[in-house]
Structure 1
Amino acid sequence: MSESSNTPMEITLDYSKQQAQAFRDDPVARLMQNAVTAASVDSISLNREIVTTTDDVVSDRLDTWSVQDQKKSGRCWAFSGINVLRAGVMAKHNLENFSFSQNYIFFYDKIEKANHFLAAIRRFESDDLDTERMRDMFSNPCPDGGYWGIFANLVSKYGLVPQDAMPDTDSATNSQQLNRALNTCLRRAGLAIHAASSEEEKQEIHEKAMADVWRIAAIHLGTPPERVHVHWRTKDKKYEDLGMMTPMECYERLCERRVEDFVALKHDPRPEHPENCTYLVEESNYVEGREGMVHLSVALEDLKNYTMTALRKEVPVWFGCDVAKQRDNDLGIWDAQLHDYNSVYGVSLDMSKLERVRARETTVSHAMTFTGVDIHDDVPRRWRVENSWGGEVGKKGFYTMNDSWFDEYVFEVIIPRDLLSKDHKKALETEPRLLPMWDALV
């Protein structure tokens, strides 16, 4: 150890010996070592009091359907978007179960993200390849991940088709090999565009690359249909034949609400991102020619109240969160204190929501759907969540989120515009502030 407090700490062999002896002299540390080396730390740290006092009964519940499964792909945002819309289809047409094709959206998402990457390389052609922006773009030119804004733009441009019209392929459920081919193709084209000397040459490279991307995507995901036959049996066993439709006709005729009817609300604890202001993420117009991802920053209580209002009006709510924290997949429970890691380690791991955002300990890593809420005296106690990890986890794929977890790890919800207050509707009309593509909550 250095004697000077102004000198960075150096780890010496004597320091390690001292720490090892201190560990051996601590019976609790030895006990925890024996436990955690034999079993998962998440099972050791589980707070039994929270487990035994959390049930899945809620006062307001929408779902009567089965969950979907994104499997080994990053399509949660599309699954959650489809879950919001398909609930309206089932209610409108008296159906027991129904889903749109996630693979159809996935196909056009890959096409649009590829085109956006190449267009962005051209927009920032003066940037050196070692700039933070270029490194960010080349690191993953065509990712699976996305947000409501991407889903809304894709649906409003390409429509939707029933799941059977373009079912998942092997690559839709396990996208690693598809992404490997697409990213290599795009990085190769991106370098060529950056080095090209004329706009004609850049355009030629761009068009050739997009033809290659379309071919690769079709090989892995199938060819999207241009017309589909829509027919079904209702809950009361009545057969209905709606005839042949284009994907846009499917969307417009089947859905109860339009994606354009919804707005993004976000709780951002950073004081430099004040509430009642709109924000636009740089280069988030993944569908070229459409608006990028815009959200209105609101207070946490507003986020909850709007979500409760939507659920009471039988509208499921898309939301974005940091899914990896304080959860148990088998039990299907989220609670801010579900795992007592501090007691296991004898070390404080406590951080505030603001601190986690600043340190990039937390981010918006997953999208799911609220389908219910347990309300007592107008206060939410817990939330019912439809996930997209299949029916083998949680309770047939549904989870219970105690309200403490909402406070700490939920950041964004998608709410029908007509439910907003006059002040928030007015705030939506303000000029959005620009956020960089590497912002902590993007």
Structure 2
Amino acid sequence: MKEIKLTRIDELNEKLNAKKTQLALRRVLYSNDLQNIFTKQEEEQNMQFYFSNEIKTLPVANQKQSGRCWIFAGLNVLREELAKKYNLKSFEFSQNYTAFWDKFEKINYFIESIDDFLDVHYDDRTLQHILKTGIQDGGQWDMFVSLIEKYGVVPKEVMPETTSSSNTRFMNSIINVKLRKYAADARLLHKEGKKIDELKSQVIEELYTFLVSCFGLPPQKFDFEYQNDEGYHIIKDLTPLEFYHKHVGDILGDYISVIHAPTFDKPYMKTYTVPYLGNVIGGREIKYLNLDINELKELTIKQLLNNEVVWFGSDVARYGDRKKGVWDDNTFDYETLLEMSLEISKEDQLLYSQGAMNHAMVITGVHLDNNISKRFKIENSWGSENGNKGYYVASDSWFDKFVYQSIINKKYLTKEQIKAWNEKPTVLKPWDPMGSLAK
């Protein structure tokens, strides 16, 4: 390793004096935010909020200060089915209800996972990965399916938001302290030759009580009340599972997770899974079919053109304007002004921790020009104050670079893709980037 010599700093300053663009940039940044100065005005005309194919959907929801985007996106897919059946102009499922059971199941998943690490050294990489990950708000599609198929759904009015469900940071920190304490205590009991069943039971009881205090008590039965053009209606005495199966429709089993992971260790037309990633023990397996981006996009568009929205996962950290509701790598020009290259391939983004799926949303439209996709309409869960009443537009090139996952109905897959899907998945490392959680 080489230290930086003071003479090197003199050289850098000498070269800096010759960079007139950087002198101007320094003046601009004295009173302007760095991220607000890269927009290319001439490119905005290509990101108009018009789409040749658009699905009519309900008003957006708001996940607030929580990482529940994957739950919001999943419930947004389901609510469109309910809205069609009952002619609803506005409706939300209780995200709080689903998040409660997600937290509870993740707590149990963590506790049971520690059984595999009672004897290993404390710095075992997988153990440390589990401990550092702890309990988070984030999740993936298969985790959403497991929750709904076990616990069903309820309308938002039946279990409304609380302050804790909408702002989860401090609550999560308390849960993680308790779970890491459990891991330490369980390993010590095991070392002493004692059983840990009683400790498990105690921690589950304590954290269930804590969750009820934070989220409220999940309902076991409720009445579904709604209003449409025909007037007021009520369906009485429903369980959450009855509501899902009878009134929403048991449709989640028809969908699979298609990903684009262009890394050397994940050949296309193969399936993959990630160990120690999940929530419901005994629930749906985490499983992905890896396809070329053009195939993933073709399936996404095929589903949209059949008037079915698409849950998808992407990296929203780059080339975006939250207020305007735009994601487009061509609209934001960092390199010209900064005078340095920032281009990094999608493969290297995954391999070198620059990018991965971090947010889930719903695609509700696509603009096609001569059957070539130009931009996509997106339903987000950041409230109606941003974007176009909470809806966003993403360019086709941004889709290629930053979309990692689409949830596709199996009926749209080719025979070859179905065959590949049915193969036994390759098990990746627990810390593989495709195991990242959407928040």
Which TM-score band applies after superposition, normalised by the shorter structure?
over 0.9
Q: Residue 422 of structure 1 aligns with which residue?
A: 415
- Compute the displacement of 1:21 (Å): 2.5
Q: Structure 2 residue aligned with 1:101, among 89, 94, 115?
A: 94
Q: Residue 66 of structure 1 aligns with which residue?
A: 59
CA contact (8 A) 1:168 1:221 kept: yes
- Residue by residue over 1:205-233, the C-alpha shift from the partner in whole angstroms, topping out at 9 and shown as x without a partner, is 11110001101111111010000110211
CA contact (8 A) 2:275 2:428 kept: yes
Q: Residue 246 of structure 2 aligns with which residue?
A: 253
The ranges of structure 1 where at least 4 consecutive aligned residues each deviate by more than 6 angstroms after the TM superposition are none
- Compute the displacement of 1:199 (Å): 8.3
SS in 1 for 2:47: coil
Q: 1:200 to 1:300 in 2, by over 3 A?
A: same
Give the Cα separation in 2 of the matches to 1:64 and 1:354: 34
Q: Residue 146 of structure 1 aligns with which residue?
A: 139
Give the Cα separation in 1 of the matches to 2:268 and 2:57: 36
Q: Give the TM-score normalised by the residue count of structure 2.
A: 0.96
- Compute the displacement of 1:194 (Å): 1.5
- Compute the displacement of 1:39 (Å): 1.1
Give the Cα separation in 2 of the matches to 1:272 and 1:176: 35
Moved more, 33-42 or 104-113: 33-42
CA contact (8 A) 2:244 2:250 kept: no
Q: Residue 4 of structure 1 aligns with which residue?
A: none
Q: Which amino acid aligns with 2:88?
A: L
Q: Residue 204 of structure 1 aligns with which residue?
A: 198
SS in 2 for 1:230: strand
Give the Cα separation in 2 of the matches to 1:379 and 1:256: 33
Q: Which amino acid aligns with 1:80?
A: A
Q: Residue 3 of structure 1 aligns with which residue?
A: none
Give the Cα separation in 2 of the matches to 1:240 and 1:161: 16
Give the Cα separation in 2 of the matches to 1:57 and 1:50: 15
CA contact (8 A) 2:88 2:227 kept: yes
- Residue by residue over 1:158-216, the C-alpha shift from the partner in whole angstroms, topping out at 9 and shown as x without a partner, is 00001111111001110012112111111111111122238872111111100011011
1:381 aligns with 2:348: no
Q: Structure 1 residue aligned with 2:20, among 21, 24, 27?
A: 27
Q: CA RMSD in A?
A: 1.4
1:194-343 aligned at under 5 Å gives the runs: 194-197=187-190, 201-234=195-228, 236-256=229-249, 258-343=251-336
1:72-87 aligned at under 5 Å gives the runs: 72-87=65-80
CA contact (8 A) 1:284 1:292 kept: no
SS in 2 for 1:84: helix
Q: Residue 345 of structure 2 aligns with which residue?
A: 352
Q: Which amino acid aligns with 2:201?
A: E
Q: Structure 1 residue aligned with 2:31, among 35, 38, 49?
A: 38
Give the Cα separation in 2 of the matches to 1:293 and 1:47: 40
Give the Cα separation in 2 of the matches to 1:196 and 1:338: 58
Give the Cα separation in 1 of the matches to 2:318 and 2:250: 32
- Structure 2 residue runs of 5 or longer lacking an equivalent are none
Q: Which amino acid aligns with 2:370?
A: D
- Residue by residue over 1:119-176, the C-alpha shift from the partner in whole angstroms, topping out at 9 and shown as x without a partner, is 0001232322211111111113211110011100000000000111111100111001
CA contact (8 A) 1:92 1:256 kept: no
Give the Cα separation in 2 of the matches to 1:285 and 1:32: 46
Give the Cα separation in 2 of the matches to 1:206 and 1:265: 36
- Compute the displacement of 1:24 (Å): 2.3
CA contact (8 A) 2:58 2:90 kept: yes
Q: Residue 384 of structure 2 aligns with which residue?
A: 391
Give the Cα separation in 1 of the matches to 2:165 and 2:359: 18
Q: Give the TM-score normalised by the residue count of structure 1.
A: 0.95
Give the Cα separation in 2 of the matches to 1:70 and 1:351: 31
CA contact (8 A) 2:143 2:284 kept: no
Give the Cα separation in 1 of the matches to 2:265 and 2:167: 39
1:56 aligns with 2:36: no
Equivalences, count: 434
SS in 2 for 1:164: coil
Give the Cα separation in 1 of the matches to 2:246 and 2:122: 46
Among all aligned residue pairs of Structure 1 and Structure 2, give the percentage whose two residues are the same amino acid.
31
CA contact (8 A) 2:40 2:332 kept: yes
Give the Cα separation in 1 of the matches to 2:294 and 2:429: 26
